[in-house]
Structure formats: structure tokens, C-alpha cells
Chain A
Amino acid sequence: MQKQSVFHSRLLPYLLVAPQLAVVLIFFYWPAVQAVIQSFLLQDAFGLSTAFVWLDNYRDVLNQPDYFDAVVRTFVFSFLIALSSLSLALLLAVMADKPLRGSAVYRTLLIWPYAISPPVVGVLWVFMLNPSLGIIAHGLRAIGVDWNPLLDGNQAAALIILAAAWKQISYNFLFFLAGLQAIPSSVIEAAAIDGARPARRFWTIIVPLLSPTIFFLVVVNIVYAFFDTFGIIDTMTRGGPANATETLVYKVYEDGLLGGNLGGSAAQSVILMGIVIVLTAIQFRFVERKVNY
């Protein structure tokens, strides 16, 4: 079969990809280039004068103790969000993979949370966990927990992790379920006859066969926890109390839009961009190598 299309006009192929290229250039590369340029500039609060300061913005950012706190916090958040949403999603997927009555309904319901936008998720959890109104907060106090995420930084962090992980479970669940269904049932049966109990089958057969899916999801979840939790943080805690829930992305927004430090904010964005590039590169390299067994 011929895989290459033959164009008689040299212009036509360029015209055909032009819309896609325009979208990518205007909405991705241009802002990225702008961010890089901005990160080398220092602007006064009214935008009246601009000075080129080389790497001063980066030096300032990296010298801020706040920034390192945010880096550590972001990694801790990402790790906990990825770990909890992946493990819960895997548990649900393993259970949904069993031939149960009404499993189609059950599976569909498990996918719904993914359709909810992050700020709405944030608002939902804010209501449920609001110290004075929330039904869960009420329950927590009833069992003796002094619940006040508006004052307690750790509780606020737990709140963010909970909401962010909850939302991501659906997405992970979908991939895990597809991955599980791709494992031939006869392989599992062979393992059962080979004397492997369910737990051992899970760790020695199912998890290794799911490993490409797991790896893919780990990267996707970390990227999600880095960037897409912005809406949840903004609606639930606004980075507080006392910066306890301020992640790198939220700090970019706070320093730039609220603090007016556009150059510093741009420098942070460029650093974040670097992190994403590294994560994506790792994913491509590993996924390509590991999927083939």
C-alpha cells in the first residue's frame, strides 16, 4: 500500500497544514516566546518603562525561599495526588472488570466526575468541607477532628489533594479498565491454575502487564497535578492559608497577575515549561521502549 500521498502542486500540502500550524503558532509558540522574552525584562507597575535585565528575574526567583517552598510543595502535592488517584482508580477498575450485574451502569457512573470542570469540583468540595456549613466538616467534627482548613495549612493541603485526586480518578479509571480488558482472560486463568492466589496474580501478572498504562498515567497525573489543579486551588483556598496550598502554577498567577511582577512570573513560567518538556521527553522515551514486550 502506498503510504505517501502525491501532491502535484507544491503549495497545496502547505496550505492544508496551514490552519493547524496557525493554531499551534498563535496559541502555543507565540505566548511561549512572549514568556521567554518577558522573563528577561523588568517592567514598572504601570507598564511605562521596561528594562532588559538578562537573567536577573531568574536569579531573583531562584533566590526566593518562597519559591523553593512552592517547588517542594508542588512535588509533594503531585506525588500524593498521583498516588492516591492512581491507586483508587486501579482498585475501582479491578472491581469493575469483574463480570457483575449492572457493570455498564457502574462503569459509566465512575466516568462522570471527569466531565466536571476543576472550579466546579473545587466549589463542590468547598461546600462539603466548609467548616461552618459543610456536611463532611460536620461529620469530621462529630468524630472529634478539629476541622478548619481556613486556618490549618495541612488541612487545606489535604483538601486540595482530595479534590484534585477525586477528579482525576475517572480518567485513570478509564485507562486502567481498558488496560485490564486488554489482558487475555486465559493468561489470568493460567496463573490461577499455576497456583497463584488473587493477590499474587495481581502483583506478578496484572501489574506487570499494566505497566505501560501505569507509567503513562503517572506522567499524565503529575502534569495534571502541576497545572490543572489551578482551578481547584483558586476556588478552594486561593493558595492559602499562609501559602500552604500555593503551587508553582498558582504562584505564577499570584506573583504576575496579583503581585504585578510580570518579569518574575514569566521566569517562573519558563521554568515550568522546562519541567513539562522534561516530563514529556521522559514519557516518550520510556513508553516507546517499555510498551513493546
Chain B
Amino acid sequence: MADVALRNAHKTYAGNVEAIKGISLAVGDGQLCVLVGPSGCGKSTLLRMVAGLETVTSGEIEIGGRIVNEIEPADRDIAMVFQNYALYPHMSVYNNMAYGLRNRGVAKPEIDSRVREAAQILEIGSLLDRKPKQLSGGQRQRVAMGRAIVRQPKVFLFDEPLSNLDAKLRIAMRVEIRRLQRRLKTTSLYVTHDQLEAMTLADVLVVMNGGLVEQVGNPLEIYRKPATTFVASFIGAPPMNLIPLQGDDANLAGAGGQAGILGVRPEDLALSDQPAPAGGVALELTVEAIERVGAETYVYGIRSRPAGARTASSGPGEPPPGEILVRIPGQGGPSVGERVRAVAVQDKLHLFSACGRKRLDS
């Protein structure tokens, strides 16, 4: 059991490529911390720095109160689950799990009992004599997890462990990883690019972009109060509508005409004939496309002006009004070409600075 802390960690590769531009982070004992971000954001590099597979250019990494910058991966008391599982192809499932214990000189009966216990937890007891190539993807995934848990390490590191599985298995394993982590109460760092995986697994969610942390927090808190437009569009599916406030639009937010970016989630918009509620917004849309997926319907609209007003793209320097997505429950909704009004109430609105780096409302 241990907590993990990063203090102003930097990683610069040869040729002055800065992968991690100074990250500080604290993960409490027993927590599951998910690092999420688009590919190339540095999340895997950060995980590998914690594992000791990448050196730390500057800053400190601490595991269980000990600074591990100069400590070999073997001595950090961590276990890692790789995206491609990285099972030892020439060893049986049993030996794959026992390898780490043998390297540490654990007594044979102890190894045997730990391997069998882990195999039982993961329901791979019948596969112990098989070689990795005789296993299915899901079974390999379980063996990789088994190899991590037999070691009883201080910290688990997961590097996109589910991305090689098919959709159905991915959901099942996601639930299982959560259950296992709760049961073992081992501090875990989990890297993924899948925001759904991030939302469902995390105690602490870290949204990364371009080698920096955009926001840290409880997943729902991040969903409710994204700190930047990047987080706003990355967390939540489909992504939040972002409307630059300029010219006439500045009055949209009811925020007193300040410049900035207005964000509103597709699920927070409703189709209505009523005028905008107090402090809220009303968007006049021309329906471009409709997607009906059964439980809900996605309405894609282009913003238009009420009849009689000047046309949308009139003002010089004014960006063409973007596409707005409205998510409504059920299978009804308008048809393509129809003009509709989408409204949202005030506390469902998000206001960001014009550069998108700062949230203006609280």
C-alpha cells in the first residue's frame, strides 16, 4: 500500500522533444487514478516514468514516500499490465505468473499458493499449463493481470490494457478491473484514451493534453465543471458544443456581453417553442442531419437567425456559425431541413475565456 506523487516531472527526449512539460500529481493510497488524453499527449510516457522504463529529465517521482527517480523498475515494487500483455511466450501460464516471484527468491510453496490463489480470483485455474499462444485475447488479458497481482506490489500500472479486446469483452474486463482494484485496494495508475473507460474506472481522473495536465478531479466533477474547452470537448460523448461569442452572440450567455466561448452539452439542450429561460440560451437551428440510435436521437443543426434578422455570416471577421448537436431522448424529433429552437437553462452553461484555457463562470 502506498501513495504516488509526481512533482514537476519533465521528460525531454533527444532532439529537444518535450513529451512531459512539468506535471505534478498526487494519488492517494488505494486510489485508482486514470490518465486520459488523446494519443501523443504523454500519458503513456508518464506511466512509463513511474514504472522506471523511461528516465525522468527533471522533477521527482515518489512511491510510498520514497523518491524513485534513480531506482530500477525491479526495485520500485510495482507491477504493470501492458497493452499487448507482454506475456513470456515460451512459458506456461503458471510460469508467467511465477516468474516475478522466483526472481525475488520467494519460497516454492508460497509461489504455488499465490499463483493458484490469483488464478482462482481471475478464473484461469484451468489454463495454468497452457502457453500464451493457446489462449484467447481475454484469457491473455487475465494472465497479464494475474502476473501483476501475484506480486502483491505497492502500485499497479495499467497501460491501455483493454484496447486490444473487442467491445463486449472490454466492458466486461473494465468492470472486473474495477472490482479487483476495490478488492485488493492497491494504488493504481491507469492509462487510456477512452473517455468512457476513464469515467467509469477513475477515483481520480487526470485529463492530459500536449504533455500537460488540463484538469484533475473526480470524474463527475470534471464532467460538470470542465476547466478548459479541451476538457469540455474530450470528456463526455458526444462532445460539448462550443460556441465562440462574438458580435450578436455575446449576448447569448446572458453574461453581460463579454467575449469568450460558450459551452453547452448536447444532452443539456432541449427542443422547445418557448423563448430562452432566464439566464439561459436559445439557439435557432436548421436541422442538417438526424441520427436515431434507439434510446436517443442526435439532431445536428446549423445555427440560423430568426426570420427577418440579418443572415448569419454577414459580419466581417465573424466565424460561420458552427454545427450544434442536440441529444434528445427517444426516437422522435424533427426532420431534416426543419427549423427548431434548442434551449438550455443557465446552470447547464459553461463559459470559457476566448483562448479556451480558462473557465470564467464558477
Q: Report the bound CA distance from A209 to B131 in whole Å.
A: 13
Q: Which of A191, A195, A211 contacts B88 (CB 8 A)?
A: A191
Which residues from chain A contact B80 at a C-beta distance below 8 Å? 189-190, 193
Q: Report the bound CA distance from A281 to B84 in whole Å.
A: 36
Give B144's nearest chain A residue, CB to CB: A190
Give B51's nearest chain A residue, CB to CB: A193
Let me know if A193 and B88 touch, CB within 8 A: no
Which residues from chain A contact B147 at a C-beta distance below 8 Å? 190, 194
Let me know if B53 and A189 touch, CB within 8 A: yes
Give A99's nearest chain B residue, CB to CB: B14
Of B71-79, B109-117, B234-242, which stretch is located at the interface? B71-79
Of B29-37, B99-107, B322-330, which stretch is located at the interface? B99-107
Let me know if A200 and B103 touch, CB within 8 A: yes
A53 at the interface (CB under 8 A from B): no
Let me know if B74 and A194 touch, CB within 8 A: yes
Let me know if A184 and B86 touch, CB within 8 A: yes
Let me know if B74 and A190 touch, CB within 8 A: no
Q: Which of A187, A196, A211 contacts B86 (CB 8 A)?
A: A187
0/1 interface trace, chain B 33-60, chain A, CB 8 Å (1 if under): 0000000000000000001110000000
What is the size category of the interface that chain B forms with chain A?
Answer: 20 to 34
B178 at the interface (CB under 8 A from A): no
A98 at the interface (CB under 8 A from B): no
Q: Which of B79, B83, B88, B103 contacts A187 (CB 8 A)?
A: B88
Which residues from chain B contact A28 at a C-beta distance below 8 Å? none
Give A190's nearest chain B residue, CB to CB: B86
- Least Cβ distance of A141 to chain B in Å? 47
A184-233 at interface with B (beta carbon < 8 Å): 184, 186-187, 189-197, 200, 204-205, 208-209, 211
Let me know if B53 and A196 touch, CB within 8 A: no
Q: How many residues of chain A get a CB closer than 8 Å to chain B's CBs? A: 19
Interface of chain B, helix or strand or loop or mixed?
loop
Q: Report the bound CA distance from A209 to B147 in whole Å.
A: 19
B230 at the interface (CB under 8 A from A): no
Q: Which of A187, A197, A205, A293 contacts B74 (CB 8 A)?
A: A197
Most chain B CB within a 10 A radius of its CB, from A189, A205, A293: A189
Q: Report the bound CA distance from A184 to B88 in whole Å.
A: 10
Q: Report the bound CA distance from A189 to B78 in whole Å.
A: 12
Which residues from chain A contact B84 at a C-beta distance below 8 Å? 184, 186
Which residues from chain A contact B131 at a C-beta distance below 8 Å? 293
Let me know if A194 and B82 touch, CB within 8 A: no
Q: Report the bound CA distance from A191 to B90 in whole Å.
A: 13
Q: Please judge, given known A-B contacts A195-B103, A196-B99, A293-B133, whether A189 and B89 are in contact too, CB under 8 Å.
A: no
Q: Which of A186, A196, A197, A211 contacts B82 (CB 8 A)?
A: A186
Let me know if B53 and A194 touch, CB within 8 A: no
Q: Please judge, given known A-B contacts A209-B90, A293-B89, A293-B90, whether A192 and B103 are in contact too, CB under 8 Å.
A: no
Which residues of A approach B to under 8 Å, CB–CB?
Answer: 184, 186-187, 189-197, 200, 204-205, 208-209, 211, 293
| 9 CB < 8 A contacts A-B | A189-B73, A189-B86, A190-B86, A192-B74, A196-B103, A200-B103, A209-B89, A209-B90, A293-B89
Since A193-B51, A197-B74 are in contact, a sample of 12 more A-B pairs with Cβ atoms closer than 8 Å, ordered by chain A residue number, is A184-B86, A186-B83, A187-B86, A189-B80, A189-B86, A190-B86, A191-B99, A192-B73, A192-B74, A193-B73, A194-B103, A205-B88
